[in-house]
């Protein structure tokens, strides 16, 4: 169930000054409704990035890596199997090679064999590559045993991560994580790729201080050249777009639009049929990120990392095609799993009142790599915190992937379950909206009841109704290219800095299905049926739409530009459609 609420309308001064004066008047109100009061928050210049000096451990990390580069030591980047991990890994490898590191390689645990992070098992694999220094990217803050195993082998470990730490930190040579205790860095929402970007900047500064580049005749790398990777990883990981992240993403998008990006990103955009020159943040999240993630979900993320690393456009194109095929396979698997999940819920014959507040679904044969996406789909459909389980390779164990709704910090909820039911969870980790866990198969029912109880303690019944926050109603005259372009240019929009959403009543002039489950619309002005605008609603409920009996609708929509064969026209991306 969904309902539309309107944000508080924030009136703007009739005589705007400074940076505000150059904005479309509506954009001023949209920004202020999102908490922007100071025009300095409008800047997307790199000069306004949060200073690295506030990032705890950064000077030590810079010196640690610079020492390894100077001594010609073997450096191994230990990545993660999602888009944030892949971009983090690629940035670290490319950055260190550009700084003259003699021996840099990477390793990504196969999620089906080793699971997540720097485990003792993956340290044993890494040891065969004889590294002197392991740098974790987008993982490691919970790897107490893995770091201990590396230390026992005489391998130094630098942890770069952004996930929430537990009560105890690993005994690493250095940790850089804005969320670790006593770190005063103002942007707590850096993605893993944002953290390693800051670390590589510190390494460059330290090598410059040591006169490394001049002595060896090396061109000092421009770290801004890697912001395409930072933008992709940040958007794909759905971290909140605070001011610092908006600057990083905006600068990365600017470089991609100008054709100054990795061949792999260009190739992924091509297979996704996205125009780099008109790229927006959502394209990275919905078109590029899923194709990159498909490698880690179904196969081995090494393919995605190699696609980002290569300088050869031909090789990049071939690997992007492979990633696109994997993504098609992922979609087919996901659709099958979703049908099974919905059938199992229908079989319970529960209405909305009797449905558990915390949903737990389990099928032994479900694909581990896709359970996170399935959890997200079920969460969106029923607006309840959702965990999906599948059998693990480890005998007698299951793995779960959780997705949450506003109001429930999912990692904290799992912590509450673990505290009140000792030994129920073998391990867990994550952040506010997503988490993962492992437990014994025979304890799934016990966990299901415990999780539902915790959710009921932390949420209210009102929380179980999804709210679409609208920025109000637009006059039909405002459905024009000028405003659509102003909104597009006003981004990047994303998590916690949502793209403007409007609502209004329309006549429903035409409706037809395209692409099996998308509803193509022609909407009319109720006051003048001759005035029309195109719209499209993606992934509609086929049990409700199309419906020839509906002639008037209320729609919640985003204002978009449809570019087709050199022509531009306004299009409404309909997020919610209800008959009137």
* Domain identity same for 367 and 250: no
pLDDT band at 15 (very low <50, low <70, confident <90, very high): low
Mean pLDDT of 304-317: 97
Mean pLDDT confidence for 530-551: 92
Task: Report the pLDDT value the prediction gives residue 99, as an integer from 0 to 100.
Answer: 98
Number of H helices, E strands in the chain: 18, 17
Residue 333 lies in a domain: no
Mean pLDDT to the nearest integer, 569-573: 95
Distance CA 315, CA 421 (A): 51
More confident residue, 299 or 73: 73
Reduce the DSSP state of residue 25 to 3 states and report it. helix
Distance CA 5, CA 557 (A): 13
Residue-level pLDDT at 2: 77
Query: Does residue 517 have a pLDDT over 90?
Result: no
Mean pLDDT of all residues belonging to the chain: 92
Q: What is the pLDDT of residue 166?
A: 84
Comparing 133-147, 188-202, 205-219, 339-353, which segment has the lowest mean pLDDT? 339-353
Cα→Cα distances 286→103, 275, 291, 527, Å: 35, 14, 9, 36
Q: Which of 59-73, 105-119, 183-197 has the lowest mean pLDDT?
A: 105-119
Co-location of 194 and 252 in the same domain: yes
Arithmetic mean of pLDDT, 246-265: 97
**pLDDT tier at 19, thresholds 50, 70, 90:** confident
* pLDDT in the model for residue 5: 87
pLDDT of residue 133: 98
Any idea what the Cα angle at residue 299 is, between residues 296 and 305, rounded to 5°? 50
436 and 550 in a single domain? The answer is: no
CATH number at residue 549: 2.40.50.460
> Which residues make Cβ contacts (< 8 Å) with residue 90, sequence separation at least 6?
229, 262, 305, 308, 309
Which residue would you say has higher pLDDT here, 114 or 222?
222
Say what the pLDDT of residue 277 is: 92
Q: Which domain holds residue 372?
A: 348-464
Total structural domains within the chain: 3
pLDDT band at 265 (very low <50, low <70, confident <90, very high): very high
The CATH number that applies at residue 147 is 3.90.1640.30
Q: Are 20 and 81 part of one and the same domain? A: no
554: pLDDT confidence band, cut at 50, 70 and 90? very high
275: alpha, beta or left, given left = phi > 0 and alpha = psi -120 to 50? beta
Residue 39 lies in a domain: no
Position 542 scores a pLDDT of 87
Is residue 16 scored above 70 in pLDDT? no
Give the single-character DSSP code of 474. P
User: What mean pLDDT is predicted for residues 24-51?
Assistant: 91
d(CA 170, CA 163): 13
Angle at 536 (CA atoms; ends 534, 539), nearest 5 degrees: 170
Q: Of 447, 464, 481, at which residue does a domain stop?
A: 464
Domain boundary among 279, 304, 322: 322
**CATH code of the domain containing 382:** 3.10.310.30
| Percent over 90 (pLDDT), the chain | 79
Task: Report the range of poorest mean pLDDT among 120-129, 378-387, 404-413, 559-568.
Answer: 559-568
Q: Report residue 350's pLDDT band, with 50, 70 and 90 as the boundaries.
A: low
120 within domain boundaries:
yes
Is 355 a member of any domain? yes
Do 230 and 115 belong to one domain? yes
Side-chain half-sphere CA neighbours of 195 within 13 A: 35
Of 230, 234, 378, 372, give the one whose Cα is nearest residue 297.
Answer: 372
State the pLDDT at residue 578. Answer: 93
Q: What does each C-alpha distance from 441 to 368, 502, 569 come to in angstroms? A: 14, 46, 53
328 lies in some domain: no
In this predicted model, which residue has the larger pLDDT, 4 or 346? 4
Q: Do the Cβ atoms of 50 and 185 come closer than 8 Å?
A: yes
509/532 Cα distance (integer angstroms): 8
Same domain, 177 and 60: yes
- The yes-or-no verdict on residue 10 having pLDDT over 60 is no
Confidence band (pLDDT; 50, 70, 90) for 20? confident
Q: Same domain, yes or no, for 69 and 19?
A: no
Confidence of residue 336 (pLDDT cuts 50, 70, 90): very high
Which of 434, 449, 464 is at the close of a domain?
464
Mean per-residue pLDDT, 132-146: 95
The distance in angstroms from the start CA to the end CA of the chain is 16
Considering the domain boundaries, does residue 226 fall inside one?
yes
């Amino acid at each position: 169930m969904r309902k539309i609420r309107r944000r508080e309308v924030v009136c703007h001064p009739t005589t705007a000054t400074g940076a505000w004066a150059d904005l479309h008047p509506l954009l001023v109100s949209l920004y202020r409704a999102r908490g922007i009061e100071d025009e300095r928050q409008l800047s997307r210049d790199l000069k306004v990035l949060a200073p690295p000096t506030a990032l705890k451990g950064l000077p030590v990390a810079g010196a640690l890596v610079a020492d390894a580069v100077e001594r010609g030591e073997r450096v191994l980047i230990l990545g993660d199997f999602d888009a944030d991990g892949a971009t983090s890994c690629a940035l670290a490898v490319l950055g260190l090679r550009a700084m003259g590191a003699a021996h840099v390689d990477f390793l990504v645990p196969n999620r089906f064999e080793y699971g997540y992070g720097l485990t003792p098992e993956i340290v044993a694999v890494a040891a065969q590559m004889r590294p002197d220094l392991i740098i974790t990217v987008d993982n490691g803050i919970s790897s107490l045993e893995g770091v201990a195993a590396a230390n026992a082998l005489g391998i130094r470990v630098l942890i770069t991560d952004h996930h929430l730490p537990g009560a105890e930190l690993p005994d690493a040579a250095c940790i850089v994580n804005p969320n670790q205790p006593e770190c005063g860095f103002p942007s707590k929402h850096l993605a893993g790729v944002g953290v390693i970007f800051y670390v590589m900047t510190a390494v460059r500064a330290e090598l410059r201080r040591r006169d490394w580049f001049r002595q060896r005749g090396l061109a000092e790398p421009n770290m801004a050249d890697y912001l395409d990777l930072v933008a992709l990883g940040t958007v794909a990981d759905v971290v909140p777009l605070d001011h610092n992240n908006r600057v990083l993403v905006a600068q990365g998008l600017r470089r991609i639009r100008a054709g100054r990006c990795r061949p792999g990103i260009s190739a992924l955009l091509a297979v996704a049929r996205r125009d780099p020159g008109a790229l927006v943040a959502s394209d990275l999240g919905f078109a590029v990120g899923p194709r990159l993630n498909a490698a880690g979900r179904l196969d081995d993320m090494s393919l995605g990392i190699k696609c980002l690393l290569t300088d050869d456009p031909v090789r990049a194109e071939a690997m992007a095609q492979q990633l696109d095929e994997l993504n098609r396979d992922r979609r087919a698997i996901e659709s099958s799993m979703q049908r099974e999940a919905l059938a199992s819920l229908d079989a319970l014959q529960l209405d909305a009142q009797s449905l558990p507040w915390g949903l737990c679904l389990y099928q032994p044969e479900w694909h581990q790599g896709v359970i996170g996406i399935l959890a997200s789909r079920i969460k969106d459909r029923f607006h309840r915190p959702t965990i999906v389980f599948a059998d693990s390779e480890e005998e007698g164990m299951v793995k779960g992937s959780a997705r949450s709704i506003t109001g429930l910090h999912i990692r904290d909820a799992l912590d509450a379950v673990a505290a009140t039911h000792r030994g129920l969870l073998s391990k867990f980790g994550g952040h506010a909206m997503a988490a993962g866990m492992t437990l014994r198969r025979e304890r799934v029912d016990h966990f299901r009841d415990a999780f539902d109880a915790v959710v009921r303690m932390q949420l209210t019944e009102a929380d179980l109704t999804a709210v679409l926050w609208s920025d109000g109603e637009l006059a039909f005259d405002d459905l024009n290219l000028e405003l659509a372009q102003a909104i597009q240019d006003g981004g990047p929009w994303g998590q916690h800095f949502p793209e403007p959403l409007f609502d209004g009543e329309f006549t429903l002039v035409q409706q037809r299905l395209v692409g099996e489950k998308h509803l193509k619309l022609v909407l009319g002005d109720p006051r003048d049926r001759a005035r029309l605008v195109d719209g499209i609603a993606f992934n509609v409920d086929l049990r409700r739409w199309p419906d020839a009996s509906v002639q008037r609708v209320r729609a919640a929509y985003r204002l978009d530009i449809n570019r087709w064969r050199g022509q531009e026209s306004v299009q409404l991306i309909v997020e919610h459609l209800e008959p009137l």
